[in-house]
Chain A
Amino acid sequence: MNQEFFSNLKCRECGRLYPKKAIHVCEFDFGPLEAAYDYDKIKRHISRKSIESGPHSMWRYRELLPVDGNPTVGVQVGYTPLVKADRLARAIGVKDVYVKNDTVNYPTLSFKDRVVSVALSRARELNFQIVACASTGNLANSVAANAASAGLKSYVLIPADLEQNKVLNSLVYGTNVIGIKGPYDQVNRLCSEIAGKYGWGFVNVNLRPYYAEGSKTMGFEILEQLGWKIPKHTIVCMASGSLLTKIAKAYTESIQVGLVDETPFHIHGAQATGCSPISTAFKNGTDLIKPVAKPQTIAKSLSIGTPADGYYAVNTMRQTGGSCEDVTDEEIIDGIKLLAETEGIFAETAGGVTVATARKLVSLGKIPTHEGLVLCITGHGLKTSEAVANHLGHPRIIQPSLREFDELISSEAAAAA
């Protein structure tokens, strides 16, 4: 099975090896642990053909994912549409744009289902009965839903002031939702303490080395859907920075295991100005991330003031010759509307951040207009509808009268003329 491809965890800082249990921190230097693969073995085992004949889900890439047996949670996750977005391309002034559309990921409409599928499948292998997470919203929804379908008890801890829909979208699955009076960083810190004390499977704490790998599948799908080609430019929004690093890892691994030829690629990062510790470090030419104590942005899903993968994200952007920008709340809302109006895709605030940043990077000349560009759109707009609610206008209300309707239409035609 997969045991031969993935046999250890490894410290990202010092390289020390660890057994593949529910641990996430190096004992020596507290560096994060990561799944370690035998790429030569994997290369001998997989091919484009073998992947193409796999399931229409993220698990077509299972040799590159850290579970021992077959996945048991989230087997239908992923394989979301890659949309050629010509109208958006025209609007932002580039030749080719593709949207990787995780707004419709199954089952909870965000890319988090990918990481949860891996984490809970592994949690089952490690015999956890109770699973949990610290979340800015989407992760909680995903853990709640997937745990329910797997018959696992779950606790999700969130900042108490999250968007209504995100809270509702967790409660409905019967999970235990705990609202913490504080920003996400406090939630996360508390979860580390709880994980240590209660022995639950926290998908983004003690199961993080497995969890994080799920994000790679967004990258694998992109390049497969482009006809086994790595896109020249990819823009990824950043909360912890993990997704951005894993997209790059997916591209690199694909080259390593012989699925695609080596080609240069640039990974660009996107944040909300009101919480942009990674963007700030990047633009200041450093990789030392100064935490943001009080994030202030409508993009609550990206409001992580102390991004765990910030250092790695900055270096990934630099090493791939990418750039980074951050955008205002107003630009975020415009980004959401632009994507919806040009491509019929309704993204949450993080998606608005990505679109707005793409626009900004193009206008700043950081992304050439004639090279292909992929936007990773990570969650559905229904989840953060509060953010756009007051910016959309209202329905026009008339009596059920054809005359009134005629008047309405002709006054619009006159206004448009």
Chain B
Amino acid sequence: MQVSIPTPLRNLTGNQELVTATGITIGTLLADLEKQFPGIGERLLDDKGQVRRFVNIYVNGEDIRFLQDKETSIKDSDEVSIVPAIAGG
């Protein structure tokens, strides 16, 4: 599936804004991203293996924190976007 990569991480993906990756859950998808683009894993996951506090991951526009976090199931037709958490207010 298509995964959109935020600007600060594009130096790890050869400047690609959109990459293709596989996985049946967000967790396995992130592992695949790390395999393809070494170094991206530690930017997205902290040392406990959890998605970093200020990283938002959306599946078809829905925040995985509303779904099942890393266990959220995904299929090939889904759009996954990685977006830095936004400050506001």
Contact = CB atoms under 8 A, between A and B. Distances in A.
Given A31-B54, A311-B53, A25 B66 contact: no
B88 A240 contact: yes
B86 A291 contact: no
B87 to A, nearest CB: 4
B14 interface: no
A262 interface: no
Interface string A143-172: 000000000000000000000000000000
Interface string B1-12: 000000110000
Contacts of A185: 88
A216 interface: no
B70 interface: no
Nearest to A25: B84
Chain A CB within 10 A, most for which of B46, B52, B85: B85
Contacts of A369: none
Contact of B88 (A13, A26, A30, A184): A184
A239 B87 CA distance: 12
Nearest to B63: A291
Contacts, number: 71
Interface in A291-316: 291, 293, 304, 306-309, 311
B89 A30 contact: no
Contacts of A13: 53-54
B87 A196 contact: no
A240 B87 contact: yes
A279 interface: no
B87 A30 contact: no
A196 B7 contact: yes
Contacts of A412: none
Interface size class of A (residues with CB under 8 A): 35 or more
Contact of A188 (B7, B55, B88): B88
Nearest to A26: B54
Most buried by A among B8, B53, B87, B89: B89
Nearest to A190: B86
B53 to A, nearest CB: 6
Contact of A307 (B7, B54, B89): B89
A90 interface: no
Contacts of B75: none
Contacts of A139: 89
Contacts of A308: 85-89
A242 interface: yes
B56 to A, nearest CB: 9
Given A24-B87, A239-B89, A293 B53 contact: no
Contact of B86 (A28, A29, A188, A293): A188
B50 to A, nearest CB: 10
A311 B86 CA distance: 13
Contact of A204 (B7, B46, B84, B87): B87
Nearest to A188: B88
Contact of B52 (A30, A134, A188, A293): A30
A360 interface: no
A369 to B, nearest CB: 32
A30 B7 contact: no
A27 interface: yes
A309 B89 CA distance: 9
Contact of B54 (A32, A134, A191, A304): A32
Contact of A25 (B8, B46, B53): B8
Interface string A170-195: 00000000000000110011011000
Given A30-B8, A30-B84, A196-B7, A136 B54 contact: no
A207 to B, nearest CB: 11
B1 to A, nearest CB: 22
A189 B85 CA distance: 9
30 contacts: A13-B54, A25-B8, A25-B87, A27-B8, A29-B46, A30-B55, A30-B84, A31-B53, A32-B54, A184-B88, A184-B89, A185-B88, A188-B86, A188-B89, A189-B86, A191-B88, A204-B87, A204-B88, A204-B89, A205-B86, A208-B87, A240-B89, A242-B89, A290-B65, A290-B66, A304-B88, A308-B85, A309-B87, A309-B89, A311-B53
Given A26-B54, A32-B54, 5 more contacts: A25-B87, A29-B43, A31-B53, A184-B89, A204-B87
Interface of A: 13, 24-32, 134, 136, 139, 184-185, 188-189, 191-192, 196, 204-205, 208, 239-242, 290-291, 293, 304, 306-309, 311
